Structure 1
Amino acid sequence: MNTRSEAGQSRPDSGGGALMGERRHLINLAYRLLGSLAEAEDVVQETYARWYAMPREQRGAIESPGAWLTKVAGRIALDVLGSARVRRERYVGEWIPEPLPERTEWISGRRGDAFADPADRVTLDESVNMAFLVVLESMTPAERVAFILHDVFRHPFAEVAEIVGRTPAACRQLASSARRRVRESQDPATPTARQAAIIRDFKQAWEAKDIEALIGLLDPDATAVADGGGLALTFLDPIEGCEQIARAWVEIAGHRPAGTAILERTVNGRPGLVAQHGGAIVTVFAFEVSGDRIKHIWAVRNPEKLRHWTTN
Structure 2
Amino acid sequence: MDHLNDMEIFARVVSSGSMSAAGRELGLSPAVISKRLRRLEERLGTRLLQRTTRQIALTETGQGYYERVLAILSGVEEAEAFVSRRSEQAHGLLKVSAPTTFGRMHIAPHLEPFMRANPDLSINLMLTDEFADIVGEGYDLAIRIAELSDSSLVARKLAPVQRYLVASPRYIAEHGTPHSIADLDHHICLAAHNGDPWRLNGPDGSVSLRPTGPILTNSSEVVRAAVLGGLGIALRSTWDIGPELAAGQLVRVLTGYAASHNIAIYAIYPSRQFLPAKVRVFIDYLAALYGPVAPWDRV
- Pick the structure with more helix per residue: 1
TM-score (norm 1): 0.25
- Pick the structure with more strand per residue: 2
TM-score (norm 2): 0.26
